[in-house]
């Protein structure tokens, strides 16, 4: 489903990436796009704080209720995946040709949407969370494989420079 979503958005969404000739410009562009991917994490922190305040726990640092634990687990997993996603997108932006830089905001949007889907399905039941997790993890795995391919096969002479 992820390749179909990315391909459809790439073809049908009417925007293009700005002209980014240097590596530093591409990294700044990736950093700015990645700021939008933090939205689901910040939203999760807000909901977690509200659920903790509304919780019927007598001790604030005591045993957490299930509804509070769901949000805390979601935030923790999302932060870990965001770090991996961001670093892979930054490396990907250095290898992509100019005409494919439109993928950076599309991958950012896919990350944000898939984390929200994961959060919703995780709140419904733990057995339903595989779809949202796979929508986050499989594009991450594809980016990692492409980055390794780019580093070791396409440009092995520029591996560390």
pLDDT at 61: 59
pLDDT at 81: 94
In angstroms, the Cα distances linking 80 to 54, 58, 76, 101 are 27, 30, 6, 24
The CATH number that domain 23-160 falls under is 1.20.120
pLDDT at 157: 75
15: phi then psi, degrees, rounded to nearest 5: -145, 160
Structure tokens at 53: 């305040």
Q: Could you state, in order of their start, the residue ranges of all structural domains in the chain?
A: 23-160
- The low-confidence residues of the chain, meaning pLDDT below 70, are 55-64, 159-161
pLDDT at 56: 62
In angstroms, rounded to a whole number, what is the distance separating the alpha carbons of residues 63 and 55?
11
pLDDT at 2: 78
């Amino acid at each position: 489903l992820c390749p179909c979503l990315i391909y459809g958005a790439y073809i049908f969404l009417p925007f293009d990436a700005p002209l980014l000739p240097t590596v530093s410009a591409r990294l700044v562009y990736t950093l700015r796009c990645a700021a939008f991917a933090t939205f689901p994490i910040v939203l999760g922190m807000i909901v977690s704080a509200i659920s903790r305040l509304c919780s019927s726990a007598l001790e604030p640092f005591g045993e957490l209720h299930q509804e509070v634990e769901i949000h805390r687990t979601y935030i923790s997993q999302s932060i870990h995946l965001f770090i991996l996603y961001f670093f892979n997108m930054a490396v990907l932006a250095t290898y992509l040709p100019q005409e494919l830089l439109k993928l950076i905001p599309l991958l950012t949007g896919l990350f944000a949407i898939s984390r929200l889907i994961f959060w919703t399905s995780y709140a419904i039941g733990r057995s339903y969370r595989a779809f949202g997790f796979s929508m986050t993890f499989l594009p991450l795995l594809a980016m990692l494989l492409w980055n390794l391919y780019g580093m070791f096969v396409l440009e092995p002479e520029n591996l560390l420079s």
